[in-house]
Amino acid sequence: SVQVFTSSGTWTRPASITKVIMEVQGAGGGGCKGGSYHRNGAAGGYAKKFLDVSSISTSTITAGAGGAGAAAGVTGDGTAGGNSIWSDGTNTITGAGGAGASNSVNAQSAGGAGTGGDINIPGQNGAGGAEGHGNSQLGFVGTPTSSGDLPAGSNDGKGYGGAGSAWSGYAFACGSGSGGIVIVWEYK
């Protein structure tokens, strides 16, 4: 069986389940608009872990929220994506959210880390809007553009943990990062 969390909640072990494989994906950061620089946010980190849950009945699940992009007509930074977490009192597995883009610093925003897993994969750093950086293990950066020729929401992160991209056109909002997810694969 499988339980999927795109919002925070509680995982409860089903009867006869003894082991799980979990995937924990942090949320993506939002894009910024300059001012000085137009940049994508960074992607969320990813962690995957096998766990014997014979003695674990519940776990607190956090699904990180995507970071907001700078609003239309505003020179501003994107905000960071939220962390996604499995926490059962003994084990903590985290996909950290990606950083929001800064319009005042000539540097990439940092991808979130994965920690506590058997496999930990950082999210891709953000970069200039035209470079298309900001992909996660389970998602993709929004489509960067400098005009209004794409549908609304095109520059938002896709899937889970993808970063929002920048608009260099002042009249348009920057993309927001896509939210995190926790997937729990359950085995007897």
pTM for the full predicted model: 0.93
Burial of 77 (0-12, 13-18, 19+ CB in 10 A): buried
Residue 150 β-bridge partners: none
> pLDDT digit string (tens) for 59-112?
999 999 999 998 887 788 899 999 999 999 999 999 999 999 988 767 788 999
Residue-level pLDDT at 12 = 98
Report pLDDT for 139: 97
What residues contact residue 13 under an 8 Å CB cut-off, 6+ apart?
A: 53, 56, 57, 58, 186
